[in-house]
Amino acid sequence: MSDYAAVQTELLTLRDFLRWTTSRFLEAGLFYGHGNDDAFNEASQLILSSLHLPVNELPALFLDARLSNEEKKNLLGLIEKRIEQRIPLPYLTHEAWFAGLPFYVDERVLIPRSPFAELIDNQFQPWLESPDELGRILDLCTGSGCIAIALAMAFPEATVDAVDISEDALAVADINIKKHELQDQVTAIQSDCWQAIEPQQQYDLIVSNPPYVGAEEMAGLPAEYRHEPASALEAADNGLALVREILLKAADYLSDNGLLFVEVGNSDLAVDAAWPDMAFMWLDFESGGHGIFMLDKAQCLEFKQKYA
């Protein structure tokens, strides 16, 4: 900490800290895969959050405002953790944004970063025939609850079940459900995939961002990812074990016109290779991201018949 303490008397203003922190982040070669694209934006968000200022816009009014000694000490401690321990920024600030909404996060859950946000913003158009008539939605492997909550916001007339095997993850999901005052619309359920969900429950929309990283890809991930729960990232069978479990039973839970959307990220090629007879519809995204496929109920039945 000595190097960080040495600059405590030299840096005075928010502007000083923004320049110095950006330089240190660039020098350290950090990985920015949890909400920001570069060192400047990462530094801006960390500094503004630590000072309890709005993080979505750099306030010119305060750029030349001086930080108190206590503010400096706290901020330098966060900067040290970001650089020396490679702790992702959202774990330091306990806040992540998804689909334009803020969420509490800690190391019990993955940090939200899914292209599902674009689908939700567009109400899954053009694939959903009648978005306003959507009744029940299931979010499998909900983690922090960010997808389930964003779905509830996008479809206010629908009820949403947020399912995860992890008690720790569901504790965080509960925090976010209460944060957004959605207790009457979103229900957190502990279940090992389909295990605790009654088959008579029929969902018009099922979405899932399950663990899908294979062992080889897992070994090559940047250090920042090591702080996330491995069980929420890695899956057996080259990342496809849980995807297969989802596909085998999805038809039992989909309504007649229901749709299934599953994110598999870089395992998209592995999905096509594992089940070559299936016509997965891979979606494109204007704002970036890839690896989400869609199937309807008939296709899910086809999968069950071919691969059970």
Kindly report, residue by residue over 127-142, the tens digit of the pLDDT: 998 888 899 999 999 9
Whether the predicted pLDDT of 125 surpasses 70: yes
Kindly report, residue by residue over 199-225, the tens digit of the pLDDT: 778 999 999 999 999 888 889 999 999
Query: How much of the chain, in percent, has pLDDT values that exceed 70?
Result: 99
Kindly report the backbone phi and psi dihedral angles of residue 157, in degrees, each rounded to the nearest multiple of 5, phi listed first.
-90, -5
Kindly report, residue by residue over 32-44, the tens digit of the pLDDT: 988 888 999 999 9
Let me know: does 48 contact 58? Beta carbons within 8 Å.
yes
Kindly report, residue by residue over 245-289, the tens digit of the pLDDT: 999 999 999 999 999 999 999 999 999 999 999 999 999 999 888
The closest of 269, 274, 218 to 247, measured between CA atoms, is: 274
Would the pTM of this model clear 0.75, i.e. be above it?
Answer: yes
Whether the predicted pLDDT of 163 surpasses 90: yes
Let me know: does 66 contact 12? Beta carbons within 8 Å.
yes
Whether the predicted pLDDT of 304 surpasses 90: yes
| Residue 1 binned pLDDT confidence (cut-offs 50, 70, 90) | very low
Let me know: does 240 contact 296? Beta carbons within 8 Å.
no
**What amino acid is encoded at 153 in this protein?**
M
CA 192/CA 166 separation, integer angstroms: 8
Whether the predicted pLDDT of 2 surpasses 70: no
Average model confidence (pLDDT) across the chain? 94
**What amino acid is encoded at 75 in this protein?**
L
Kindly report, residue by residue over 46-85, the tens digit of the pLDDT: 999 999 999 888 888 899 999 999 999 999 999 999 999 9
CB atoms within 10 A of CB 6: 10
Q: What is the mean pLDDT of residues 14-18?
A: 96
CA 234/CA 238 separation, integer angstroms: 9
